[in-house]
Amino acid sequence: MAERKVPGLSIALVDREGILWAAGFGYTDYSRKTPVTTDTLFNICSMSKTVTATALMLAVQDGLVELDVPIIEYLPQFTVNSRFEENPETRITLRNLMDHTSGLGYDVPVGNGREISYGSCEESILSLSNTWLRHKVGERFTYGSGPGLAAYIVQVQSGQPYYKYLEDKVFAPLNMPNCSIDPEFIRNHPNRAVSHMPWPHVKQVPLAIDIPHCGGCAGIYANAREMARFVQFHLNQGKVDGQTVLEKNLITTMVTPSIRMKQYALGIQPWRWWKSREDHYVLGHAGGGLGFATHMMWFPEYEFGAVFLSNAETTDRMLANIFVDLIKENLIQKDESVERPTSEYLAPPPLPDPNTFTPFQPTWKKYVGAYKYVMNGWKFSIPARVVLGLGITTGYTHVKVYEKDGYLYVNGDRLDEHLPGLFFTASGRCLDLRGPELRWENYRIKKTNNDNDGNFDIDL
């Protein structure tokens, strides 16, 4: 923690019977006034996707939704753009949303991580209708915004706010009363960790609950003790205190990887031990962002799991890797067979060859230059605001569009034009300079007064 400048950390180790050991370390912030305990709330970041997947499977169990029905059955007004096929929304299913094979990009145009105070939850979700898919539906894995849309569909089909559905169907049965995405509950919680980012120019990190799209993707706040009960629930394949909450076949569906992905299922990452030839595997999910880093994992063959929550992004996967090494060194595989999640693997087609892209055109010269992200809701220090106001941008706040080797590039990736002013990289990331709103990967951008060579000198 000292090496990585981590203010606070909470850990819980669990087996099928309950918590084996749990402890808090450090403090909720750098003021060192409030010690972290196992009851301290942290933003669990993308671990929220596993909770969303669990909620979705409970909705499947209750007959509210089906995994393989096109989502326009639930959202008739939803549309999306594609370079590859007409009416792709008629092919996207809830399964595609949860295993990240829908083709949707990482974030949404309205209410995303760079524009915190922009738009409502509904406006945020429906703004996906104006975006472009990165690939054909079901063709390949692209970590994206699908779980947020899936959570919204659960809200629509259940007829209650998503946070209330989580409380009733997940948190209450699993005895997790302090886990929530309810903004009022989180803001008023007396034992909540403060996030810390490695950028000195950020004065205050926003709460994830202030981002309309975060609910199903990364917005849940929880403590290590109660997330350990969530891991225990999965170790027991859907049972709590001997009672079935989620049917075993639906748990199996959750942990079975996509046909297009060896290492991602429905909100769960089944991965084999690093550098191991043995047939061991781990289930779980990592998370990070907005000043937090988290990880949960469970080992079905050892009936054992762990939760790590920290309030600094610098933690990354360090603790999880240490834990895996300890397991490898100290546990012996049990004799009984374990049902492992397997599926047929179908390799995706190759990405487009950038060497086949259209060479730089004279009409593209107007696009070359420096752009800055629109950053609604972020609070920067006074020196940072002065610098940004002068047009000097940082790696987090700028986009570079430039000519190189006879082609057009954005931030190191070669671009090809699909429609006048609409460009894509080989991996499908979209640069839309058609106006009136300019966008890079669904984030709003504005051209600055800096010179066009990408050096970001102050224009006096």
Predicted confidence at residue 103, as pLDDT, reads 96
Cα separation, 210 vs 304, in Å, equals 34
Predicted TM-score (pTM) of this structure: 0.91
Predicted confidence at residue 274, as pLDDT, reads 42
What does DSSP say about strands 239-240 and 221-222: parallel, antiparallel, or unpaired? unpaired
Q: What angle do CA 336, 308, 161 make, to 5 degrees?
A: 100
Q: Which amino acid is at 233?
A: F
Cα separation, 284 vs 267, in Å, equals 9
Give the dihedral sign, CA 317/318/321/327. negative
Instruction: Break the chain into its structural domains and give their ranges.
Output: 8-330, 354-447
Q: What is the pLDDT along the chain (460 residues), one digit of tens a residue?
A: 888 888 999 999 999 999 999 999 999 988 888 999 999 999 999 999 999 999 999 999 999 999 999 999 999 999 999 999 999 999 999 999 999 999 999 999 998 888 877 778 888 888 999 899 999 999 999 998 999 999 999 999 999 999 999 999 999 999 999 999 998 999 999 999 998 876 666 666 777 777 877 778 889 999 999 999 999 999 999 999 999 999 999 999 999 888 777 778 999 988 754 444 345 578 999 998 888 999 999 988 889 999 999 998 876 667 777 777 777 677 655 545 556 666 677 888 999 999 999 999 999 999 999 999 988 877 766 665 555 555 555 555 689 999 999 999 999 999 999 999 999 999 999 999 998 899 999 999 999 865 444 433 322 2
Per CATH, the number for 8-330 is 3.40.710.10
- What confidence tens digit (pLDDT) does each residue in 153-193 have? 999 999 999 999 999 999 999 999 999 999 899 999 999 99
Cα separation, 5 vs 439, in Å, equals 34
Inter-residue contact 71 to 97 (CB < 8 Å):
yes
Give the dihedral sign, CA 143/113/207/214. negative
Predicted confidence at residue 396, as pLDDT, reads 59
Which among 89, 79, 84 has a CA at the least distance from the CA of 418?
A: 84
- What confidence tens digit (pLDDT) does each residue in 37-83 have? 999 999 999 999 999 999 999 999 999 999 999 999 999 999 999 99
Task: From residue 84, give the alpha-carbon distance in Å to each of 9, 53, 101, 444.
Answer: 46, 28, 14, 24
433 SS3 class: coil
The values of phi and psi at residue 384, to 5°, are -65, -40
Task: From residue 17, give the alpha-carbon distance in Å to each of 66, 178, 239, 260.
Answer: 32, 21, 11, 35
The CA-to-CA distance between both ends of the chain, in Å, stands at: 44
Task: From residue 175, give the alpha-carbon distance in Å to each of 55, 114, 170, 246, 294.
Answer: 15, 34, 9, 15, 21
Q: Which amino acid is at 312?
A: A
**Other CB atoms within 10 Å distance of the CB of residue 400:** 19
Percent share of the chain, pLDDT over 90: 62
